[in-house]
Amino acid sequence: MSSPEAQSGLFPETDPAKLRFAVVDLETRNVNPCSGAVIEIGIVQMEDGKIGGEWGSLVRPSGPVGDWVSRLTGITDAMVAGAPAFAEIAPKVAELLRGRVFVAHNVSFDWRMLRGEMPGLPARTPRLCTVRMGRALVPESPRHSLDALCGFLGIELGRHHRALDDARAAAEILATLLKRDGAEKWVASQLARYR
């Protein structure tokens, strides 16, 4: 059975120029998909092949950020102490994702972690991974991590491991790769999984 998103008009359309995307990045205090793990979220919307609105927020987790994560992201316990809990921003997140293809760099991680916070998200929400897309459409790049692809494609990466900056970079990667030969066929093959 197709998801409510699929029934609402995302499909059978697979022309990338006509699809609406939500490019998401999460920073988390651990890798367990549970409530209280996310410490920051960034979402960049795309449509008509162009980057549009963006939104981001620090998130108050259910436990300490941890030293390793603080060193990686620059996010400290003090920074998230006054931030909203994920439940407070969940309606905004749902609104920004509604009717869009969910995109992330390593989409399986971000999707799993987001569903830990929002278990009501439809399991069959269509998703694209810019890591996989990079491997398919830019095989000449020696690596396909976010920073490596940005460097190879000449895309500016702001503060790496900050959610909105990484979401912006992933959106730029998506916009660039959508112009490459084979992009439409690759997107259609990925989205066919969610019909």
The pair of structure tokens assigned to 66 is 């941890």
pLDDT digits (tens, 9 = 90+) for 2-22: 333 433 444 446 677 789 999
State pTM to two decimals.
0.92
> For 126-167, how does the pLDDT look when each residue is reduced to its tens digit (9 = 90+)?
999 999 999 999 999 999 999 999 999 999 999 999 999 999
Q: How far is CA 83 from CA 32, 41, 60, 131, 177, in A?
A: 21, 12, 5, 30, 35
Write the pLDDT tens digit of every residue in 73-106.
999 999 999 999 999 999 999 999 999 999 999 9
* Domains in the chain, CATH or no CATH each: 4-194 (3.30.420.10)
DSSP letter at 194?
G
Whole-angstrom distance, CA of residue 99 vs CA of residue 76: 34
99-125 burial code (b ≥16 CB/10 A, e <16): ebbbbbbbbebbbebbebbbeebeeeb
User: How would you label 41-60 residue by residue, b for 16+ Cβ within 10 Å and e otherwise?
Assistant: bbbbbbeeeebeebbbbbbb
